[in-house]
Amino acid sequence: MVRILHNPRYAGAFVYGRTHTRRTVDGRTRVIRAPRDQWDTLIPGAHAGYLSWEEYEQNQKRLHESAQVIGADRRRGAPREGPALLQGLVVCGRCGNRMTVRYHSRQGGLCPEYICQREGIEQAEPVCQRIHGAAIDEAIGELLVEALNPLAIEVSLAVQRELQSRIEEADRLRHKQVERAQYEADLAQRRYMRVDPENRLVADSLEADWNHKLRALTEANEDYRRRREQDARILTDEQRAVIVSLASNFPRLWRDPATPDRERKRMMRLLLEDVTLNRDQQVTAHIRFKGGAHRTLRLPLPLKSWQRWITPVAVIEEIDALLNHHTVLQIANILNEHGAPSGTGRPFNAKMVARLQRNYCLKPRYDRLREAGLLTLQEMADALHVTPTSVKIWNRRGLIRGHAYSDKNECLYDPPGNNAPRKAMGVKLSCRRRHPDVVSDRREEV
């Protein structure tokens, strides 16, 4: 099937000389495929074909791009479904070889990694370099969105119009050169035709000069035709409007979650030639656009796996400040309300906050309250000459002020001072006779 797609007869062309036969040293016969410019005969449209010659040329280009992954330098390759947007475009900045893609499963998704391992495969040498690819893909994607904005396209079109005016001037100059070569050839012809045939020496000299002028004319015509074909890329107003509309729609299409990764790769291949990566103190990406433009990006080194699980320093500082007034469960709820990120990306809970307090050696809330002079339950009971249970009851009724240091409602209390509940102190003995945890209404009325 692939041979049919590569055969020009499929497109209605007559071809002869696509292969050449050579004999090797041992006497065997070897068939060599010749490039198109070395074919003996190529006549497009010689007979009816299954498709046009233009469609055949486009198919050959698509097949060539898809088959480049098999070549010596493993260029390109067909875009696949993976999220690595630079698949087949990455070049190692150290050895110059093509970098391959390896995927890792992280948090339920695929994370690309670009790795240069050809020498490791062929020569059993260590891996040249490996670079985490998610941050690079994102940075280059943003660069493409920035480059393909309507303002930049308008500037490019204005430059193209200016270049087109200069191209037209250069075309007029080249056409004058062709006219001059034609005039000199005609002049050499007239000189040759007027010479006396019996004067063979002069006739031979004029004939050689005429042939020289004809060759110069042919070269001038070929050069003019080739340059004219190269410069014949004139954009019409309608084409310019289409380009501007595409530039306006490109950011929306690129950032649309419904756009498949395969289509993003195809768009990137239309804009980029290749990307050279080098990892040192930072990741340096040299980006080569179609047409010769280039950009250089310098990105920080990707975080290691354990570094991605570290809680940000700002969150640790916020937890340290909240420990002065809240328990660990209250702190977890406050952090979730503020949308503070955790190292794992999950919402905070009491266990996470307590673990962070221990791991970062933050002073516990209990120690902070003790340093502020607050009393424990037993110390408060001794100061008020009541039982610890009575202290809890008075704290719930608001007679004294307690500060919770845990989520089990364990509290430390402000010293009573001169604002101690005196009426309650007078009924301590009676309360103990009836029940240690209950204060009778009759004794409270006394």
Of 335, 350, 331, 324, the C-alpha closest to 403 is: 324
Instruction: Kindly state the average pLDDT of the residues 44-64.
Output: 87
**At residue 392, what is the residue type?**
K
pLDDT of residue 28 exceeding 70: yes
Q: Are 56 and 10 in contact (CB under 8 A)?
A: yes
Residue 71 pLDDT grade (very low, low, confident, very high; cuts 50, 70, 90): low
Residues in the chain: 446
Predicted confidence (pLDDT) at residue 107 exceeds the cutoff of 60: yes
Which value, in Å, is the radius of gyration of the alpha carbons in the chain?
42
Task: Indicate the SS3 state at residue 219.
Answer: helix
pLDDT at 352: 92
Tell me the C-alpha distance between 374 and 416, whole Å: 10
pLDDT over 80 at 296, yes or no: yes
pLDDT of residue 325: 92
The predicted model gives 285-307 an average pLDDT of: 85
The pLDDT value recorded for residue 247 is: 61
Q: How far apart are CA 58 and CA 61, in angstroms?
A: 5
**For the chain, domain boundaries:** 1-66, 71-131+275-302, 150-238, 306-362, 370-445
* Cα→Cα distances 350→49, 54, 337, 404, Å: 75, 68, 14, 15
The more confident residue out of 24 and 277 is: 277
Confidence band (pLDDT; 50, 70, 90) for 70? low
- At residue 322, does pLDDT exceed 50? yes
What topology is assigned to 370-445 in CATH? Answer: Arc Repressor Mutant, subunit A (1.10.10)
Enter the tokens of residue 125. 């040498």
* Predicted local distance difference test score (pLDDT) of residue 432: 43
Residues 74 and 98 sit within 8 Å (Cβ to Cβ): yes
Query: Whole-angstrom Cα distance, residue 374 to residue 224?
Result: 97
How many Cα atoms occupy the beta-carbon half-sphere of 229 within 13 Å? 5
pLDDT recorded at residue 18: 87
Tokens of 56: 């055949």
Contact 223, 215 (CB under 8 A): no
Q: How confident is the model at residue 445 (pLDDT cuts 50, 70, 90)?
A: very low
Residue with tokens 């391992």: 117
DSSP 18: S
Lowest model confidence (mean pLDDT) among 17-21, 202-206, 368-372: 202-206
Helix (H) or strand (E) holding 41: strand 41-43
**Smallest Cα–Cα separation from 427: which of 406, 404, 396, 399?**
399
pLDDT (0 to 100) of residue 334 = 94
Share of the chain above pLDDT 70, in %: 82
Q: Smallest Cα–Cα separation from 428: which of 391, 377, 375, 374?
A: 391
Which structure tokens are listed for 312?
Answer: 């940000």
At which residue do the structure tokens 């698509």 appear? Answer: 62
pLDDT in tens, 348-394: 999 999 999 999 999 999 999 999 999 999 999 998 889 999 999 99
How many C-beta neighbours within 10 Å does residue 93 have?
21
What pLDDT does residue 275 have? 92
Rounded distance, CA 391 to CA 377, Å?
Answer: 7
Closest CA to 372 of 396, 405, 332: 405
Closest CA to 34 of 49, 21, 52: 21
Q: Return the closest-CA partner of residue 400 out of 416, 387, 389.
A: 416
Residue given tokens 């050169």 in the structure block: 177
In whole angstroms, what is the distance from residue 415 CA to residue 402 CA? 10
